[in-house]
Amino acid sequence: MDNAETPGMHLEHTPRVAAGDEGRGRARIHSLTVGLSAATHRIPHGILTPWRPTLTSFNDRVVRVTLKTWLLQGLRSDSGAHEGSYAEAPVRKSAWWRVMTLTGVDYFSSLGYQPAIAAVAAGLLSPLATIVLVLLTVFGALPVYRRVARESFKGEGSIAMLERLLPWWGGKLFVLVLLGFAATDFMITITLSAADAAAHAIENPLVPGWFHGTNIAVTLVLIALLAIVFLRGFREAINISFVLVVVYLGLNAVVVAVALAHVAGHVVAVTDWWAALTAQHGNIFVMVGISLIVFPKLALGLSGFETGVAVMPLVKGDPGDTAVKPLGRIRGTRRLLTTAAVIMSVFLITSSITTTLLIPQKEFQPGGHANGRALALLAHQYLGPVFGTAYDVSTICILWFAGASAMAGLLNLVPRFLPRYGMVPQWAAAVRPLVLVFTAIAVIITLVFKADVDAQGGAYATGVLVLITSASVAVFLSALHKKQRAATIGFAVVSLVFAYTTVINVIERPDGVRIAGLFILGILVVSIVSRVQRSFQLRALSVTLDAAALDFVTGDADETGNVRIVANEPDDGSEEEYRLKLAEERRDSGIPQRAAIIFLEVHHADSSDFEEDLVVEGIVRHGYRVLRVHSGNIPNTLAAILLEIRDQTGVVPDIYFEWTEGNPISNMFRYLVTGGGEVAPVTREVLRRAEHDPRRRPDVHVS
């Protein structure tokens, strides 16, 4: 066909293959396209851009580019597709009992402040309220997360389960809300742990007097050190956590054993405690009832379960494990969760009993010697300043490292969801920019709460309880979907209990909801703005043409030197549909009667998904060749397929559309929400942004 027959094509700039030189021409053009591919649509648009001349000096440009390269080092091209913490490389796996210490730095470190918080919240009822908490841990949270480990074994936790169970935009919105509470949980873990570590350092008897009153400054220094560690690169986390946890639990065991021995030698402490309880509450039934009411204030003792499933990719499985069924890894993680829960339950009960019986209630109040450091006070009191100082140092280290565990959790969670949703800038898939953002937020939280451990307890508990409640709902829905009656009833009860606990905590300590609300609002605003800004990007992580589809396009390129694509909106799939569509396009777009064409159909999928792996199938329907693909974003998908056809054939394809009916503005809103709407102009704009060279850009024809 003569090139002039097709109107609107930039043929004087477009490489075409002559009929007699198919092999040589295709080889030459294909090598050119492959060479340029890495600089165009193969690299996500907007991440790496070519230099442009500026008036600044050469050294300034070098510094800017070096800083950008350093910040974006390790930027992933397929966010959320890999297991482990923000890394494409395979993670080094360890035995479950070693990985337990990594989640244990978060879970076990709460012993540094949990007894004091329990005493402030429940007073003399602290041991009974703690027993209620332990029962809820063993018979509620533990079964929930053992099931989460079985069904979400890639380290994505219960949020990924809810994402699968609640698709489309409703599911995405729910995930964004949960991410807000997760961010609250992890961020407050960083700031609260650093604040409590500062309190342990400042309250040590060997510390000079001028050091007192520097809680905010010391907390900010610890947060800054945490940021430096992650900016330099976090390595050997399991080895460090193993040493910290073993030493810390060993020291706590000594303190608790000595304190229990002291209680056993002074039975009067037990009788005095019981007499005071009876005078306050009358009988055991009233005590249990009040304990059921106040135990939500002790919810910090439930922290660590979400982190426990987040570290699953680090657990070493069996040699026979597969990516679909890693049974060894699942079994190891379930042992991890059970062992950690049993260890923590023992320490929670014993520490609550000893601190309540041996420390006057006034010392737990703000300004008291036991505020935020009850076990540390017993260590100094019964084992001397040397052992007490060793205990303080161990507590400071594990509390600081608990912040590291929370930071790792954030860096694992955010890149798995938001970049995949297109709801953050592309750089959010890199580690170092996120570290800087999270550090800035931690500094603000510390200044707002003045590094006060008690003041941050409500926000921390809210984040923990919301995540556990969402996990309970996720496993309930899973059991319901699988028609497991006993499990459905059991998890329904657990969900109601955790929902009650969450509501009570929110009513009594609304600060957590306010902070979580700010996180949720920030995430929603950033998500909407980013999704709109990135709406014209190529979204396909990969494009695969099956054998038949590849044969269609390469055959046309070899025989005619042209690849003509007609975009068809799927209807009833009848022979009449394709015949009428082809006749209209030949008439309106000037396609010659004898020119070969291929239909391209996008069958609608979840439009809330941003990144997709596209698989293009080639089929013959009623004698017409059809390329078929499933996607939630029609224009972006068409653009990606056209560029892939160009790279596979060495020929720049043409695509033909009809104008979309309706108001252009409403069609644009339809595109943002449903992935449809103004297909032709949006496809053209996506191509324009992805391919800057007009000679290599597929031509879009609209009639």
Q: What is the mean pLDDT of residues 56-78?
A: 55
**Positive or negative CA dihedral for 305, 310, 311, 314?**
positive
* Confidence check: pLDDT of 2 > 60: no
430 with 576, same domain: the answer is no
Give me the pLDDT at residue 74, please: 54
Q: Is 216 among the domain residues?
A: yes
583 with 682, same domain: the answer is yes
Least confident of 250-254, 366-370, 587-591: 366-370
| Domains in the chain, number | 2
Q: What is the mean pLDDT of residues 22-48?
A: 36
Query: Could you count the other beta carbons within 10 Å of the beta carbon of residue 447?
Result: 13
Q: Is 58 among the domain residues?
A: no
Total residue length of the chain? 703
Q: Is 481 among the domain residues?
A: no
Q: Distance (Å, rounded) from C-alpha 47 to C-alpha 378?
A: 55
Contact 562, 16 (CB under 8 A): yes
Query: Could you count the other beta carbons within 10 Å of the beta carbon of residue 53?
Result: 6
* Helix locations, 451-510, DSSP H: 453-481, 485-508
Q: Is 65 among the domain residues?
A: no
102 with 34, same domain: the answer is no
Give me the pLDDT at residue 662, please: 62
26 with 111, same domain: the answer is no
Q: Is 574 among the domain residues?
A: yes
Predicted TM-score (pTM) above 0.85 = no
* CATH number, position 331: 1.20.1740.10
134 with 31, same domain: the answer is no
**Positive or negative CA dihedral for 345, 350, 351, 356?**
positive
Q: What is the mean pLDDT of residues 318-325?
A: 82
Task: Using pLDDT thresholds of 50, 70 and 90, give the confidence band for residue 3.
Answer: very low
Task: Using pLDDT thresholds of 50, 70 and 90, give the confidence band for residue 69.
Answer: low
**Positive or negative CA dihedral for 135, 140, 143, 146?**
negative
Most trustworthy range by pLDDT among 108-112, 411-415, 542-546: 542-546
Domain boundary among 404, 427, 452: 452
Q: What DSSP letter does each residue of 511-555 carry, written as one string?
A: HHHHHHHHHHHHHHHHHHHHHHHTTTS--EEEEEE-HHHHHHHHH
* Confidence check: pLDDT of 43 > 60: no
316 with 215, same domain: the answer is yes
Q: Is 414 among the domain residues?
A: yes
Contact 213, 556 (CB under 8 A): no
Contact 328, 322 (CB under 8 A): no
Q: Distance (Å, rounded) from C-alpha 120 to C-alpha 462?
A: 17
237 with 381, same domain: the answer is yes
Distances (CA, A) of 311 to 93, 191, 405, 621: 10, 21, 10, 48
Q: Distance (Å, rounded) from C-alpha 67 to C-alpha 497?
A: 50
* Confidence check: pLDDT of 578 > 70: yes
> Edge-to-edge, what's the strand order for the sheet holding 624-631?
540-545, 612-621, 624-631, 598-604, 564-567, 654-657, 699-702
435 with 286, same domain: the answer is yes
Query: Could you count the other beta carbons within 10 Å of the beta carbon of residue 210?
Result: 7
Residue % of the chain over a pLDDT of 70 = 79
18 with 100, same domain: the answer is no
Contact 442, 223 (CB under 8 A): yes
Q: Is 679 among the domain residues?
A: yes
Contacts of 308 (CB under 8 A, 6+ apart): 100, 103, 107, 145, 149, 333, 336, 337, 340
Q: What is the pLDDT of residues 104-147, one digit of tens each?
A: 887 888 887 788 878 887 788 888 888 888 888 899 999 999 99
35 with 180, same domain: the answer is no
CA angle 125/129/134 to nearest 5° reads 150
Domain boundary among 452, 481, 509: 452
Q: What is the pLDDT of residues 352-404, one digit of tens each?
A: 999 989 988 888 887 787 877 889 889 999 999 899 989 989 988 888 888 87
Domain boundary among 390, 421, 452: 452
Query: What is the domain extent for residue 127?
Result: 96-452
Report the run of H or E that residue 292 belongs to, with start and end. helix 284-294
* Confidence check: pLDDT of 530 > 90: no
Q: What is the pLDDT of residues 170-199, one digit of tens each?
A: 677 777 788 788 788 888 888 888 888 888
447 with 564, same domain: the answer is no
Least confident of 337-346, 382-391, 492-501, 570-579: 570-579
Strands 699-702 and 612-621: unpaired
Query: Could you count the other beta carbons within 10 Å of the beta carbon of residue 608?
Result: 22
Q: Is 61 among the domain residues?
A: no
335 with 436, same domain: the answer is yes
Q: What is the pLDDT of residues 650-680, one digit of tens each?
A: 899 988 887 766 666 665 656 555 555 677 7
